Copies of this chain bind each other. A is one copy, B any other.
Amino acid sequence: MTHPATAPLPEWEEEVISHFIGVFETFGLPKSTARIYGTLYCAEAPMLQEEISTRLGISAGSASQGLKLLQNLSAVHRITPPGQRHSCYSAELSVRRLISHFIDVQLRPKLTGGRQSLQALADRLPPENTHARNRVQTLQTWQQKAATALPLADRLFGPKS
């Protein structure tokens, strides 16, 4: 059974959320996570997790997991306001920071992470296997490029560019 029908979202919010669903998909991030981010992006004020799950008609568990993932990406921030009983969430609104964190958390580990294991592989290949050595070498060059390019990448989205 699906969750209880909730008040429909404003049309502009639906459209913005759809936009984020598309972008998130490109990076292999789940749809419900995109919806949560979109909701917070559209919100006027930080929201409780419960408000989010009610608004989107998703379970508390789903909201919890999605928010955890978004926090790992620093795409949402958890705030515990002084007077408040519970903590609430707001969306990161700076593309630059979004991209920068995405690079740090998702890209860099995969692209430049296995550096030593690649080096170990290269060391272990017999000198006469020139083809394998070439290919592994190329891979190392790629990593090298990634390592120097990634720090520059988020500057492309910086304030003054």
Chain A contact residues, CB within 8 Å of chain B: 10, 12-13, 15-16, 19, 22-23, 25-29, 41-42, 44, 93, 95, 106-107, 110-111, 114, 117-118, 121, 124-125, 129, 131-132, 135-136, 138-139, 141-142, 145-146, 148-149, 152-153, 156-157, 161
25 pairs from A and B in contact (CB 8 Å cutoff): A10-B132, A12-B129, A13-B132, A15-B117, A16-B136, A16-B139, A19-B118, A19-B139, A26-B27, A26-B106, A26-B107, A26-B110, A27-B27, A41-B135, A42-B135, A44-B131, A93-B138, A95-B145, A148-B156, A148-B161, A149-B156, A149-B157, A152-B156, A153-B153, A153-B156
Q: How far is the CB of A110 from chain B (nearest CB, A)?
A: 5
Chain B residues contacting A42 (CB-CB under 8 Å) are 132, 135
Residue of B nearest to A154 (CB): B149
Question: Inside 8 A of A114's CB, which chain B residues have their CB?
Answer: 19, 22
Shortest Cβ gap from A5 to chain B (Å): 23
Q: Which residue of B lies closest to A125 (CB)?
A: B12
Shortest Cβ distance from residue A83 to the other chain B in the assembled complex, whole angstroms? 23
A121 adjacent to B157 (CB under 8 Å) = no
What separation, in Å, do the CA atoms of A124 and B12 have in the docked complex? 9
Given A23-B111, A28-B29, A149-B161, 4 more A-B residue pairs with CB atoms under 8 Å apart are A12-B129, A19-B118, A25-B28, A145-B157
Of B28, B118, B153, B156, the contact of A28 (CB 8 Å cutoff):
B28
